[in-house]
Amino acid sequence: MPKMKTHQLTKYTGAVKNFYGVIPGSGKAAIHQQAPTEESLSQAVVDIYSALKPQLAVMDGIVGMEGEGAENISKVAISETDCKRCGICIKSCPASAITLEPRPLIDQEKCIKCYCCHELCSNSAVKLKTSFLDRQLLKTMQYNKT
Q: Nearer to ligand SF4 by C-beta: 31 or 97?
A: 97
Q: Are 16 and 10 in contact (CB under 8 A)?
A: no
Among 86, 105, 137, 138, binds ligand SF4 (CB under 6 A): 86
- The reply to whether 73 sits near ligand SF4 by the rule CB under 6 A is no
The number of C-alpha atoms within 13 Å of 95 and in the hemisphere containing its C-beta is 18
Q: Nearer to ligand SF4 by C-beta: 7 or 113?
A: 113
For 42-61, letters b (16+ CB in 10 Å) and e give bebbeebbeeeeeeeeeeee
Among 8, 30, 85, 134, binds ligand SF4 (CB under 6 A): 85
- The reply to whether 106 sits near ligand SF4 by the rule CB under 6 A is yes
Residue 69 phi, psi (nearest 5):
-85, -170
Residue 60 phi, psi (nearest 5):
-85, 100
Among 23, 44, 57, 83, binds ligand SF4 (CB under 6 A): 83
Residues at the interface with ligand SF4 (CB under 6 A): 76, 78, 83-89, 92-95, 97-98, 100, 104, 106, 111-117, 121, 123, 125-126
